[in-house]
Amino acid sequence: MTPPPNARQQILEILRSAARTPVAEIATRLELGEAEVAEHIAELEKSKTVLGYRTVVNHEKLENEPCLGIIEVNITPQRSVGYDEIAAQIYRFPEVILCYLVSGAYDLIVFVEGKNLKDVALFVSQKLATIEHVNRTATHFILRKYKEAGIILADEEKVQRLPITP
């Protein structure tokens, strides 16, 4: 049996959609041996192509739902290091869960998680805004998540609509 030419890519797609898929199931789906699939996965982890496996949590189902803030950050890039040095100062804070360099009016998009709205606001005012070369921020708070990591979080209800007649 000849393995598919893009076995690694197919394995990655399966793991992205369902990280807990057993090696045996991946092997069966791709018509590969379990040892070969396990070897591909080990190589992907060793090369840091796969950095980890995550659980997507619907925080609305929890009693103490964390507050998520999205902060747009405008910074002055520094000679010879550009945005990287300032971005590193920001993404090293434990409150920061995502940090991206983006195009547009702002330079960075930073996702921050706190216990409540006040925690996120204090992070912005006391930690983020005080970093040298941070010029401006705009903070947005997540009110409700509908989809995360490709997974629909909202309980889909059938909407009962009255028929419209002309």
Residue position matching structure tokens 């709205």: 117
Q: Output the pLDDT for position 158.
A: 59
Q: Output the pLDDT for position 1.
A: 44
Q: Output the pLDDT for position 102.
A: 97
CA distance 142 to 163: 34
Q: Output the pLDDT for position 156.
A: 66
Residue spans of the chain under pLDDT 50: 1-3
Beta-strand runs (E) in the chain? 67-75, 96-101, 108-114, 134-141, 147-148, 151-152
- Continuous segment of H or E residues that includes residue 150: none
As given in the structure block, the two tokens for residue 102 are 């983006």
The answer to whether the predicted template modeling score (pTM) of the entire model surpasses 0.85 is: no
Q: Output the pLDDT for position 159.
A: 58
